[in-house]
Amino acid sequence: MSSTRYSLYALARNALTGHRHWPPAWRKAAPRREYQAVIIGGGGHGLATAYYLAKEHRIKSVAVLEKGWLGGGNTGRNTTIVRSNYHLAPNAHLYEFSMKLWEGLSRALNFNVMYSARGVLNLAHTPQELDAFARRGNAMRLNGIDAELLSRDEIRRRVPRRDGAGRFPVVGGLLQPRGGTARHDAVAWGYARAADAHGVDIIERCEVTGIRVTNGAVAGVETTQGFIATQKLGIAVAGNSSRVAAMAGVRLPIESHVLQALVTEPVKPCLDTVVTSGAVHYYVSQSAKGELVMGGDIDGYNSYAQRGNLPVIEHVAEACLLLFPSFSRLRMLRSWGGIVDMSMDGSPIIGKLPVRGLYMTGGWCYGGFKATPASGFLLAHTMAHDAPHALNAPFSLERFAEGRLIDERGAGAAPWLH
């Protein structure tokens, strides 16, 4: 277990010896034959679940099984935006709970996750869109979430380089000032280190290839490093949710699609907030390194490949130049893709599955990074109590059979539209 507390004193002490004696942030654990709880997936959600199981529920015999390396899935591929600007009450409560955890996360984990409350601004391009934003902003305020409706002139002052207009003039916008960004890798590393300090075994290069079910209950998992017995199994595998759940005979209302993103070459600070436009399918922020990080919609076909096609990149570049013509002089540095698990109502599934001892967090579509702390906390609660917390009770799998959809966008069972 890593025991060094990160502090100014530790930094100074290690500086005297040339930084050669820092202990590894987490151990390379070998799998044991049995654990009280096993989590499949070493992304932010799986690691957070393990951490809260150990810390909040004192379940010390926990393993996280990751087929690749920690944070190599969507956690390390996302565009790092965190926010809770939702209209529907279950979403508002869930994501606001996550925002509150973000605000204290660096201190709680003793690891700087670089949460930056730089604001998330949604641009409205028509009076009707602005009306809808006013309604959402009012709903957010009623739920205790910060929201400000901005005029066109206020936006011009806040985002001076947003000088484009074209077919999409900006008429106003909705700002969540506490929204912003966090450093994605740091979130995985911070949770991994804190979970390891609580005794969790983190096992990389260990793919789950089967789930053993005996008399309707989980008995363990088959892995590339052998069989591991457990009676509590949590699935946190993002774009692979339906494939892994199918190993236990569970069919999920989820489709997997590629979502791409790209960054430009780094430049001096020029954009100090996150800007999004639903009308042109575009969002952008500037990373601490100076790169402009941007993305758009999913590729419209099902896929498990972690790479997409050029038309979406072209669309994102077009949308960028429509809103920020001056960015045309920047060169694209790299682009990548991740597999997102699109649910039929655009909202996640966090809870029990119809096999005793089997639980999941998934179906996060475009937006699960911001939910990482809440998702882990709530899945851990559900696994420890074999019953959901009030905040994740609405996000059960049964809602699809019972017609209690949480359809924020009103798009219906059309995953590619959420």
Ligand X SMILES: Cc1cc2nc3c(=O)[nH]c(=O)nc-3n(C[C@H](O)[C@H](O)[C@H](O)COP(=O)(O)OP(=O)(O)OC[C@H]3O[C@@H](n4cnc5c(N)ncnc54)[C@H](O)[C@@H]3O)c2cc1C
Query: Do 274 and 285 meet the contact criterion of CB atoms below 8 Å apart?
Result: yes
Residues 6+ apart with CB under 8 A from 124: 130, 132, 133, 170, 171, 172, 173, 174
Query: Do 236 and 338 meet the contact criterion of CB atoms below 8 Å apart?
Result: no
Asked if 123 interacts with ligand X (CB under 6 A), we say no
Identify the three-state secondary structure at position 220.
strand
Name which of residues 77 to 96 contact ligand X (CB under 6 A): 77-81
The string of DSSP letters for 356-378 reads BTEEEEE--TT--GGGHHHHHHH
Binding residue (CB under 6 A) for ligand X from 192, 195, 236, 379 = 236
Our CB check for ligand X shows the closer of 80 and 230 to be 80
Site string for ligand X, 398-417 (x = CB under 6 A): --------------------
Asked if 240 interacts with ligand X (CB under 6 A), we say yes
Minimum distance, C-beta of residue 298 to ligand X, in the bound complex (Å): 9
Binding residue (CB under 6 A) for ligand X from 175, 275, 330, 340 = 340
Minimum distance, C-beta of residue 293 to ligand X, in the bound complex (Å): 8
Nearest-angstrom CA–CA distance, 355 and 220:
12
Asked if 308 interacts with ligand X (CB under 6 A), we say no
Asked if 202 interacts with ligand X (CB under 6 A), we say no
Helices 89-109, 372-385: inter-axial angle, 10-degree rounding: 100
Minimum distance, C-beta of residue 256 to ligand X, in the bound complex (Å): 11
Our CB check for ligand X shows the closer of 71 and 130 to be 71
Nearest-angstrom CA–CA distance, 323 and 333:
20
Asked if 220 interacts with ligand X (CB under 6 A), we say no
Binding residue (CB under 6 A) for ligand X from 51, 189, 369, 377 = 369
Our CB check for ligand X shows the closer of 66 and 146 to be 66
Identify the three-state secondary structure at position 412.
coil
> Residue ranges of the alpha helices (H) in 110-229?
127-142, 152-158, 184-197
Part in contact with ligand X (CB under 6 A); list of ranges 130-138, 366-374, 383-391, 394-402: 366-374
* Amino acid making up residue 330: L
Our CB check for ligand X shows the closer of 43 and 357 to be 43
Pairing of strands 358-362, 349-352: antiparallel
Part in contact with ligand X (CB under 6 A); list of ranges 100-108, 164-172, 253-261, 323-331: 253-261
> Residue ranges of the alpha helices (H) in 39-120?
44-57, 89-109
Our CB check for ligand X shows the closer of 150 and 339 to be 339
Pairing of strands 282-286, 274-277: antiparallel
Nearest-angstrom CA–CA distance, 229 and 121:
47
Nearest-angstrom CA–CA distance, 382 and 385:
5
Name which of residues 286 to 305 contact ligand X (CB under 6 A): 295
Tokens 């696994």 belong to residue = 383
Within 10 Å of residue 129's Cβ, how many Cβ atoms? Answer: 19
Part in contact with ligand X (CB under 6 A); list of ranges 36-44, 154-162, 163-171, 327-335: 36-44
Our CB check for ligand X shows the closer of 29 and 134 to be 29
Our CB check for ligand X shows the closer of 102 and 324 to be 102
Binding residue (CB under 6 A) for ligand X from 41, 172, 388, 394 = 41
Our CB check for ligand X shows the closer of 252 and 261 to be 261
The HSE-up count of residue 84 (CA atoms within 13 Å, CB side) is 28
Minimum distance, C-beta of residue 333 to ligand X, in the bound complex (Å): 15
Minimum distance, C-beta of residue 131 to ligand X, in the bound complex (Å): 26
Please give the span between the terminal C-alpha atoms of the chain, in angstroms, as a whole number: 41
Closest C-alpha among 90, 149, 57 to residue 377: 57
Name which of residues 254 to 273 contact ligand X (CB under 6 A): 259-261
Our CB check for ligand X shows the closer of 130 and 183 to be 183
Asked if 45 interacts with ligand X (CB under 6 A), we say yes
Q: Note the residues at the interface with ligand X (CB under 6 A).
A: 40-46, 65-68, 72-75, 77-81, 207-208, 236-238, 240, 244, 259-261, 295, 338, 340, 364, 366-370
